[in-house]
Structure 1
Amino acid sequence: MTARRITDTVWAVGGSSGPERTSDHDGIQYLLWDGTDGLLIDVGTGLGADAWLANVGEVCADATPFGAFVSHYHADHAGGAAAAMHAGIDVYAGSVTAAALATADEQATSLERARRAGVYPEDYRLAAAPDVRILPDASALTIGSFTVTVLDAPGHCDGHLVFLVDHYGRRSLFSGDTLFSGGRVSIQAIPDCRLDLYSDTVRGLAELEVDELFPGHGEPVLADASVDIARAAESFRRLVPPPNILTA
């Protein structure tokens, strides 16, 4: 395994495919790194935590990133929170995600439902992470040369956050499971996937003039990402859900 450099400052350090592969069940785990300071986005299931942490060390050497921001509480993005904290990395999330991770709530996170559907191994369990720190909506943080704005983005599930990163004139959106290349979304048959909120979220994100899109699965969009986001927003404006990444 090895980290995969995507841009000058963005690396894939975990996921289900590519040289950075950590587990078949992991979403993409990103590292923003400017050579001195950085930030991790999402922490995978925990099944590939050793490989993921090794990939981070490959990029950062002896330095430690500011912390890990978790987009939402689904296991492929949040299940590795306890492993990250055990390795000395502070983990941050929204209040809904933090509450679910604190008690390893497999009902709220839909993990039990997903496990029954065969999405995760039968013996996989969410590890409790009681010390996740809270990220308030619309907070902006300076981390090295990055300005990171935390945005509430419900729809795919309750408590979902996305992260808007400004860096030397470029604007990147780390979208978790909210948006994907081609203007696709992730609609699932789970209790807290809410199309009305999804529509509001995507139409709001379409106003941000984003250059790059880094989704939780699939390939990034490295130029004119606003076009992809606008495509999804226009579909929602017509009251028609955009193409679903799970079926497209």
Structure 2
Amino acid sequence: MKEKLCFVKCIDHEVPLQIDLPDKGQEFPAMLLIHGFMSAKNLDGHMLQKISLELTKNGIAAARMDLCSMGENICSREKYGMRIMIDEVKACFNYLQSLPYISEKHVGMLGHSLGGRLAFTCSTLPAKLIVTLNGAINTNVMMVPSYNKLEMQQLGYSIMHTSDGRVELIYQKFERDMKDTLNMNISNFKNPILVCIAANDPTLDPNIGLKFVKNCHMENVDSVVIEGANHTFNAKTGDYTKLNELNNQMIPWICRNIK
């Protein structure tokens, strides 16, 4: 696997994009990997890195981005919200399409958690396919993380403690952006969709994904359910058994539909 760190121009800042390429070949299909809420391309127990490795083994380039103010992205946390992140996803997708070693018409998106919501929201892009991992894909419904309401009112921000021990700030803009970007864009997406669900996810209700699959009435939707898996398919525990189980079903599906 060959690694390349790029910085993609987006409005007034740059988006870090880690591109992993297969060892053999000159032009590749590609997947844009989008992390979740208050996460980054190399967090969540290295979940996206593990997925990236499996993609490159199968001849697919994988590009992991850092969303606004996360990871190596130095954009101000005060801008953190759906609006700027939608712009970042679109900028990275278009950048991938422009690369000489990427097959322009064979670029897909994979999003975890909030990243799944972003992938569905950005389904207006000419993506070859979309994959969500425990995605907040009910994009027509408000979803705001719990925070200290009094603190937000008095300070204009709230302090959040993440599950991996970090301390982060969330501003009022996040909730405003969520409201302003409600959509049903995915209903017009005609290419393949794979909804991956961890049956024992304590963070995001598995029924969000299950209900979408059951009620969307879209013939292009497939699903995978992994029993005994949590929000990161147990990657944060250091046990990759369930993530490997997911990859064993997800990677062949991507290979069939992206090339």
The answer to whether TM tops 0.5 is no
Identify, as 1 or 2, the structure richer in helix. 2
Tell me which structure has the larger Cα radius of gyration: 2
Structure showing greater relative contact order (alpha-carbon pairs closer than 8 Å, 6 or more residues apart): 2
Identify, as 1 or 2, the structure richer in strand. 2
Normalising by the smaller structure, the TM-score range is: 0.3 to 0.5
**Normalised by the size of structure 1, how large is the TM-score?**
0.40
